Amino acid sequence: MKTSSILDDVFRSLTLKRKLERGKADPADTADFVVGRCALADDETVEEASRKAAEAAPVWARFPLEQRLRLGQGIRERLLRHHLEFVDLLIAEGNPRALAEWQVAGLLEIFSEETLGWCARQMEQSIEHGNRRMTVRRVADGVVAVNPPQNAPASSALFGITPLIAGNAVVVRAPRSAPLGVMYAMRELVAPALDDIGAPPGTLNVFCSRPGPAIKSWLESPHINDIFYTGGVTTGLELERDCVAHGKKPVLELAGNDAVLIWHDADLEAACEALVECFFGSGQICMVPNQVIVHPAVAEQLLERLRLTASLIRPGLPEDPGALLSPVLRSERFYAYVQDALDKGATLVHGARRMETDGTPSDTGLFLEPTVLRVDGLDHCRDIEAVAEETFFPLLPVIVPEAAPDDELLDRMLAYVNSNPYGLRNSLWTRDEAVADRFVDEVSNGGLLKVNDSHIGFLPYLPTHGGTGRTGGAFGEANYPMLRTTHLQGVSRATGVRPREAVFGAYAELAGMRPGSLPTATPDHNSEEQ
């Protein structure tokens, strides 16, 4: 169903959806409401996808890297040709137009010559050393199963198929709630690019199913090597344990609870532009800012600017170019977060009302007003749930530490960021190069650090996803799936080397020993057993 039709008339749209599912309505009469239909895969189809991928994987892995890189180029070229259609489909699935366009821009960076070229350079490096040519290379793991999230399934699925370029075969599960963008991306962008370079059948497989049975099948399948899962922390960390138990590599994209530090010399106007990215998509994006730690000297100025800037962010139908908020279906949890914060001493600066599509305050609206909280004190701020956790709501706590000398205050702010159980992205706003240097040198938390920049903007070369702690699990780091779904292997190709000299010669040379003094294992054929 089109999101805009649901927002216009929830009851009529959902009633029509049920009739269609039961075969009691004619799809030809529902064009104003229905985007498309997608078949639901059964268990046999899920298993067959894994088998087909395993058959194709060794054939595909033998394609030269240069040829596989053409796949990324082909996907990018098709995305450029079809970006308007793709954006329209993302909008129909509920993404505000501006955020649909942002996702496409991010995909163009992921498949850019710069980013793929950098990844390609990590795939293999060789050196001539004496009579040997030695290589350290990354080898494809085999078959990668991809589970994208419900909030950005199409763009996440395209990000998730980059392991193809490393030489893996891929299986993708499209979520039932929004399968069409995934199916379009795989059928119209990826599959034709694979065909253009002659990839074997089964290199890419995609189906729509419930998540539980598919993941269970992947865990138990002898054909699946890696599981790339994007979703919630609890389920993701449980899956990580299950993957290890079943001999699978987990690649996790879970929650983020990103921090932004505001130093006393920051450009507050520009910083506020970055901070209100928290509210884009109503906060239902993992990589948006989730908490702010502001120098006490500029806290009042920042909060006032933030209040004014947040008030300009509004809801609307997804087709509306000015809309940045998305509907929120679990508003009771949002109000529980707000109430918990207020009960523990936080102050409401702005927001916390429900709104209709036109921005009118309403007790029954599907949108939530961007909400800013002030939290005084750094030591116990994580007692507040909205600070300690990713809320996935348009809710931004601004933490004002206790006043202290700048050196001490910076120490505490950096330590706070490093102690974050989550670790996706972190940002800093300052004009002081020394402060920026300390931030970059000392913050080990997270997969991406930014200084004086958009928190969510995509860049060539740099990773778009991945992180530490609850964000990426025990093996978490900045995530280039093309690299994460490979393993390191060393290779030595020798010419004219005697094995015994290779074993003992290095020490003999170091010790100045004569070659004839090396240990020998040459049998004495004249000796007799006594």
Q: How many CB atoms lie within 10 A of CB 297?
A: 13
The whole-model pTM stands at: 0.93
Q: How many CB atoms lie within 10 A of CB 436?
A: 17
Per-residue pLDDT, 156 = 97
- In the chain, where the domains are located: 36-254+482-486, 258-458
Per-residue pLDDT, 143 = 99
- Strand-by-strand arrangement of the 347-350 sheet: 347-350, 371-376, 395-400, 289-294, 258-262, 425-429, 448-451
Q: Are 182 and 230 in contact (CB under 8 A)?
A: no
- Give the residue-averaged pLDDT of 272-287: 97
Measured CA to CA, the distance from residue 355 to residue 364 in angstroms comes to: 8
Per-residue pLDDT, 521 = 57
pLDDT in tens, 381-424: 999 999 999 999 999 999 999 999 999 999 999 999 999 999 99
Residues 6+ apart with CB under 8 A from 299: 374, 398, 400
Per-residue pLDDT, 371 = 99
Q: How many CB atoms lie within 10 A of CB 425?
A: 29
Question: Lowest-confidence range among 12-16, 59-63, 304-308, 501-505?
Answer: 12-16
Q: Which helix (H) or strand (E) segment is 374 a member of?
A: strand 371-376
Q: Which structure tokens are listed for 511?
A: 């010790």
> What architecture does CATH give domain 258-458?
3-Layer(aba) Sandwich (3.40)
Q: Are 179 and 206 in contact (CB under 8 A)?
A: no
Q: Kindly report the CA angle at 353 between 350 and 358, in degrees rounded to 5?
A: 110
Q: Residue 319 is which amino acid?
A: E
Q: Are 265 and 232 in contact (CB under 8 A)?
A: no
Cα 260 vs. chain centroid, distance in angstroms? 19
Q: Which structure tokens are listed for 339?
A: 């109430």
Phi-psi map region of 430: left, alpha, beta (phi>0 left; psi -120 to 50 alpha): beta
Select 36-254+482-486's CATH number: 3.30.70.20, 3.90.245.10, 3.40.50.720, 3.40.605.10.
3.40.605.10
Cα 385 vs. chain centroid, distance in angstroms? 23
| 3-class DSSP state of 6 | helix
pLDDT in tens, 70-96: 999 999 999 999 999 999 999 999 999
- Give the residue-averaged pLDDT of 43-48: 98
Per-residue pLDDT, 529 = 47
Q: Residue 138 is which amino acid?
A: R
Q: How many CB atoms lie within 10 A of CB 170?
A: 30
Per-residue pLDDT, 530 = 40
Per-residue pLDDT, 522 = 54
Question: Lowest-confidence range among 17-31, 158-172, 500-514?
Answer: 17-31
Q: At what angle do helices 97-110 and 153-160 cross, to 10 degrees?
A: 0
319: confidence class by pLDDT, cuts 50, 70, 90: very high
Please provide the distance, in angstroms rounded to a whole number, between the alpha carbons at the two ends of the chain. 90
31: confidence class by pLDDT, cuts 50, 70, 90: low
357, pLDDT greater than 70:
yes
517: confidence class by pLDDT, cuts 50, 70, 90: low
pLDDT in tens, 461-516: 999 999 999 999 999 999 999 999 999 999 999 999 999 988 988 888 777 766 55
Strand partners, 207: 173
